[in-house]
Structure 1
């Protein structure tokens, strides 16, 4: 590759990538970036991924935690998007039955918002737009007799039940990155891409680690999977060299916020609540002791980096939940909240909730290939990644076969623990029982949490005796697990561990969270360096 001005400026800085040049450099460590890196690495391409913060530290950890077709998108006639998402639900459940599970939803019927025939028609389409092997279909229910009716106000006498899935979104991203690494990709977190200069045959990319000198990575192709920053990255950091500069798409940044309150109901169903502004709000069982309520759709004109819920959003979510539940949800009940900025493709819709959740892949080959990812949703990220990897492969002269549709994510193959798989949700229960048998010293709640987080990789975290786990830094969190997260999942800080790799932060006191932070401050760098 011919030297560029960027190469000359930092030629004294060694590259963190040994050996020959990369085939693809991926910018962005969210669900799309890690998924693309995983898919490419599994096809044998030489891949590196750079994320300016922690994995899933923004939009991809701030979702409603659902693997779903998007029932409400049928009203916007997005049948193609819904069908693709429905096809992906069971693909994802089979690939990661530890972090993805079936979930039944109750929709109380409010005749003032949508007539029953319209709801029935929508659910019929939802049941039949794609084949189902795991999830049961929808049905009407008498809320006076159904267990979910006891939580609701007496005026809701009838409703509908349908199926979708729940996912630990941040762990989905982490497992994509782990699999990418296992398959040969190099993953650099807390490493910002400051400039990418395009040549005829490749890219010279300057990267700045949070700790360390600026370096150059060289790649044949570049992927812009920067999410809410995709347009900004193209505008501020990409230099076209002698080729025509790529034009960014118009993105619409929409903030979605969620609140977490104490458990509102005892059963295991979730609720889909129709709102007075023709939207929907979910109320979902969360972390055993809590209920997750969301989401809002608010235009977000400001900085995408640190969105926060505002008082109006909190009041809105409490008001909508209180329209349905016998016990009102009040602002004082909120124990945690989170917000994310969704980078949606601009479609000129006046209503933020009606903006399409579909995605677009822009492949620019006016010089070295540049693939930019616009829009998308959690459920279709695997399919997006597959399409992106195929298009990049063709641009690099070798399409190579897709493979992820039948592959398990790390920890998702339970066969070594339970034998032949049967049904994902039942297989997980067998997996929990197997963990309890092997590690008899574990409390049942800890065995379930660890099986849920790590699946069949749990034996990389646990030891036969509790003594071998090291100190118990916080309740149920031993040094061995923290060492694993630093060594194999790029964790560095308390937020990485307590709010992304797990949700233990919800269960711990401030003092317990501080103990975790102190341990990581003292030990994380050493374990990451050793890895």
Structure 2
């Protein structure tokens, strides 16, 4: 990065929206810089329920445009990243406390047809007394519906967008905080601070994009002195991960007595993910986690449906994310819109600032396209729209080819078990070959099946600097390594960084 370089676009925030915009913009020919004060996807973009979905419940709030756009994105994103996105079937048990069956059938019919579903299988009714999906449930649940959505490794989706942006020429600066923004001589002057060593620098840009997520108003307040900024409603969503609760590969969508929905999803082969909650957040964005109340809420919800009761002793991990929903004045947190708003801040003769309020992971690519339409009004058009059919790194294969890829990886490392090979494919796709083909071999094993070759790849290619980056964002091996093993990994990374 040249100190005297003037970027066309500078993005503040390394979540999914910021990285998606950086990728789209640099692919069109704009010069792009991006800063993130922590690790990529260290905030909301690693704290989701890991779904690429239309949002079935949003139909009740008449958000048809958002649902249609989300549904259309499911199969596009699946095609572009089949290693980290794959289809899931969701089971909705019906009971007297739910909406009438005819109403659910109508909603699921719309869900099937609103977004142009092509490859995903359609909705069907289930007899839970005979179907395997009914076995883990209490006997009173006898009928249900099954529909399609997709799973995503959310933090990996963010990192792969950043990787592709960097490969195309963007400067991705992690652990770099924006400490000031000012307009001068028709340009933005952006003060940056390296969080690790405290060094400071100033870069310039023609246009700035505020993709701070939950920090979007904070950036306006601190960097621009806009002390009255209040555009987002912060909503905390928390999840618990338990030991595996059932053996089949389908998910459940449940509804609590308070009308909120939550999911139970097979997770990382040996676990079940349960969530999410929806509660307004007013705490410290740099330090938060699941509350006792949320834990009790999710346990009680699961125990209302599953025949096997779970307790706190079954929980192996919890995580939370704070969603920056656009503040539309909704009465309850779960009713606030998940749609996004892009708003330009202009002054006569000065460079523009475009802020992102709200959004959801499923629509990040379309949000980036909408952002580029705004950018073009200020900077002029360069390259064409291009991301709709462009594979993310490692995703340059067809779903039908995955068995051949697996066979080739087994041939490279026959000593690795099928579970390890499948994990590498689900994380890296065709890029796993770089890990398996390292000339110095796989190297030291830090625990479970996490080898030195994989960690070096994550450090060299994906900006990983700490054990937390590797264990909880690039992979979920934190579920398998002991505390001592994680500590050894962290020390090794600091010695070899």
TM-score by length of 1: 0.90
1:187 aligns with 2:161: no
Q: Is the 8 A contact 2:39 2:469 kept in 1?
A: yes
Shift of 1:200: 5.0
1:285 is aligned to 266
Q: How does 1:324-403 map to 2 (within 5 A)?
A: 324-366=305-347, 367-403=350-386
- SS of aligned partner of 2:381: coil
1:438 aligns with 2:417: no
2:2 is aligned to 17
2:293 is aligned to 312
Shift of 1:247: 7.3
Post-superposition CA distance 1:379-421 (Å, at most 9, x none): 000110111123213311225311000100000002xxxxxx3
Shift of 1:77: 0.9
Q: Is the 8 A contact 2:5 2:203 kept in 1?
A: no
Of 200-209 and 170-179, the range deviating more from structure 2: 200-209
- 1:310 and 1:379, CA in 2 relative to 1: closer, same or farther beyond 3 A? same
Distance 2:442 2:98 in 1: 55
Q: Is the 8 A contact 2:339 2:359 kept in 1?
A: yes
2:478 is aligned to 505
Distance 2:52 2:481 in 1: 28
Q: Is the 8 A contact 1:259 1:334 kept in 2?
A: yes
1:492 aligns with 2:465: yes
Q: Is the 8 A contact 2:265 2:273 kept in 1?
A: yes
Cα RMSD after superposing both structures: 1.5
Distance 1:123 1:17 in 2: 53
- SS of aligned partner of 2:203: strand
Shift of 1:249: 4.9
Shift of 1:212: 4.3
- SS of aligned partner of 1:140: strand
Distance 1:200 1:122 in 2: 54
1:231 is aligned to 217
2:249 is aligned to 268
Listed as ranges, the gaps of 5+ residues in structure 2 are none
1:408 aligns with 2:381: no
1:454 aligns with 2:428: yes
2:65 is aligned to 80
1:463 is aligned to 437
Post-superposition CA distance 1:238-262 (Å, at most 9, x none): 26xxxxx797452110000000000
- 1:435 and 1:246, CA in 2 relative to 1: closer, same or farther beyond 3 A? farther
Shift of 1:118: 1.0
Distance 1:404 1:352 in 2: 32
1:109 aligns with 2:94: yes
1:255 is aligned to 236
- SS of aligned partner of 1:441: coil
Shift of 1:446: 1.1
Q: Is the 8 A contact 1:178 1:489 kept in 2?
A: yes
Distance 1:74 1:44 in 2: 38
Distance 1:489 1:459 in 2: 15
Q: Is the 8 A contact 2:45 2:158 kept in 1?
A: yes
Post-superposition CA distance 1:72-127 (Å, at most 9, x none): 01111111110000000001000000000000000000122211111111100100
Shift of 1:508: 1.4
Shift of 1:304: 1.8
Distance 2:5 2:287 in 1: 37
Q: Is the 8 A contact 1:194 1:206 kept in 2?
A: yes
Listed as ranges, the gaps of 5+ residues in structure 1 are 1-15, 240-244, 415-420, 525-531
TM-score by length of 2: 0.97
Q: Is the 8 A contact 1:65 1:168 kept in 2?
A: yes
1:216 is aligned to 202
Distance 1:218 1:247 in 2: 26
Q: Is the 8 A contact 1:106 1:271 kept in 2?
A: yes
Distance 2:94 2:402 in 1: 33
1:418 is aligned to none
Distance 2:206 2:125 in 1: 55
Q: How does 1:38-77 map to 2 (within 5 A)?
A: 38-77=23-62
- 1:400 and 1:365, CA in 2 relative to 1: closer, same or farther beyond 3 A? farther
Q: Is the 8 A contact 2:93 2:144 kept in 1?
A: yes
